[in-house]
A = this chain, B = another copy of it.
């Protein structure tokens, strides 16, 4: 990491400026009114710089959302040996993120794009939803080995029970997103998974 001018580092700085500008603007004006021009102006780069790296507004917002989450880092869930406590820790953090306007606005914009664009949906599943779900299932499998969840439980269905109500409540703004709500979803899901 020499201190000499490095075009790849300058280029990375521009890239980060574009992503930050996209996140800020989508929060301020919403996805529909977001323009490549405005992102370029806010980031202090030319439009052509943006089009060199991204094919569309949707693609910029996609990467802006990716850069928000810890998707490149360690996605492993906490494992204290207590699945109920660990899921509550994780769900409370997720609920708090979705209650945060700076986080939720870009994710909402991305979701709207995904619902209309099957290609973007497939990319999102491959790059984000898939790896994240795998990390969650790894924690559930460890709970299965510990005898806290039945060995034959359908883990995809378990994740849907846990997360889909939160996703729907956030997406449709149909109810409050609170720590109590996170806890209730964990309690109900663990009860649903118990042997009959």
Binds B, one of A36-44, A67-75, A164-172: A164-172
Chain B residues with CB below 8 A from A157, complex form: 165, 184, 188
Binds B, one of A95-103, A114-122, A136-144: A114-122
A172 touches B121 (CB 8 A): yes
Complex alpha-carbon distance, A196 and B192, angstroms: 11
Closest to A159 in B: B165
B118 touches A115 (CB 8 A): no
| Contact of A116 with B156 at beta-carbon distance under 8 Å, contacts A161-B161, A161-B188, A188-B192 already known | no
B175 touches A168 (CB 8 A): no
The number of residues on chain A lying at the interface, defined by a beta carbon within 8 Å of a beta carbon of chain B, is: 37
A165 touches B160 (CB 8 A): yes
B121 touches A115 (CB 8 A): no
Contact sample, A vs B, 7 pairs, CB 8 Å cutoff: A114-B172, A115-B172, A125-B172, A164-B165, A164-B169, A191-B191, A191-B194
Q: Nearest 6 A-B pairs (CB), nearest first?
A: A192-B192, A160-B165, A164-B168, A164-B164, A188-B192, A164-B165
Q: Which residues of A contact B (CB under 8 A)?
A: 30-32, 108, 111-112, 114-116, 118, 121, 125, 129, 154, 156-157, 160-161, 163-165, 167-169, 171-175, 184, 188-189, 191-194, 196
